Amino acid sequence: MKAGKRMLKLVAMSVGLVSVAALLGFVESTSESMPVNDIRIEVQGLGEVQFIDEAMVRNIMLTDQSGIMGVPLGRMDLRVIEDRLREVPAIANAEVYSTMDGVLHVKVDQRVPLVRVMMKEGKGLYLDRNGYAMPTSPVHSPRVLVALGAVRAPDVSEQVRHVLSGDSTWAGTHLPGLYRLAKAIDADPQWRSLFDQVVVHANGQFELIPIVGMHHILIGDGSDLDHRLEKLRIFYDKGLHQADSRRYSTIDLRFADQVVCTKRPTL
């Protein structure tokens, strides 16, 4: 009797599993045949500047995937759409997924500029917070650190590149050191509020221009930044007031355990 009951339970469980599997198969089949009826786009990382918006993302998708609306979800290659969006210089990452109601969800991360690089020939680029070079925008100009001087850089209008990748793209440029310097400044509220320009010299040395004061700061080639900036902090904290700072034309941090100041010839 007990054996019979156990058999009935096993049969019931088997029937139940078959029913669930059939239901899941039906749902999956229905989902794959559901046509795309809407695209919902979310752009993250906008902040104060907007290099890309929902309308631009939608236009990219509809231009390159002209048959996207009304196409069954099962025929959509979401990875292709993601890869195409990631080719846009202003986009750091893209995620595309669909739901059973026929909606295509698109999440896009905009690149966040860290420093603007201005070159003599009138060209320019941004380095974003992750170290990628990206083109400037004719519409938006965010308030970030500006680098000028003897800057050379490759064309980044078509493809973004990481400045610390070590490839030949960055041979002869000073952008890797500039990125490390801009990153260190951005990470510290005191430096972020004090510096708005950096001059790049042909020999790869960097010179910081404070917003206030009449002195320039020689910081070196971007190496040993933590130690050099800490020397500067101590130097400022130990009594370099605005009146005193006008006495100096340069503050040199390039020597080990020293801060070398050059006085102005006249006050």
- CATH number, position 258: 3.40.50
In a domain, 21, yes or no: no
Count of domains for the chain: 2
Asked if 123 and 253 sit in the same domain, the reply is yes
Provide the phi-psi class of 51: left if phi over 0, else alpha when psi is between -120 and 50, else beta.
Answer: alpha
Q: How far apart are CA 254 and CA 97, in angstroms?
A: 51
Q: Which domain holds residue 185?
A: 113-263
**How far from the centroid of its chain's Cα atoms is residue 144's Cα?**
13
Pair of tokens at residue 88: 């846009």
Asked if 195 and 252 sit in the same domain, the reply is yes
Q: How far apart are CA 217 and CA 9, in angstroms?
A: 82
Q: What is the pLDDT of residues 116-173, one digit of tens each?
A: 998 876 678 899 999 988 888 777 778 899 999 888 776 666 567 788 877 777 767 8
pTM above 0.85, yes or no: no
Which is nearest to 68 in space by CA: 106, 108, 41, 39?
39
**How far from the centroid of its chain's Cα atoms is residue 264's Cα?**
41
Pair of tokens at residue 173: 């440029």
In a domain, 23, yes or no: no
Q: Give the chain's mean pLDDT.
A: 80
In a domain, 239, yes or no: yes
74 secondary structure, DSSP code = G
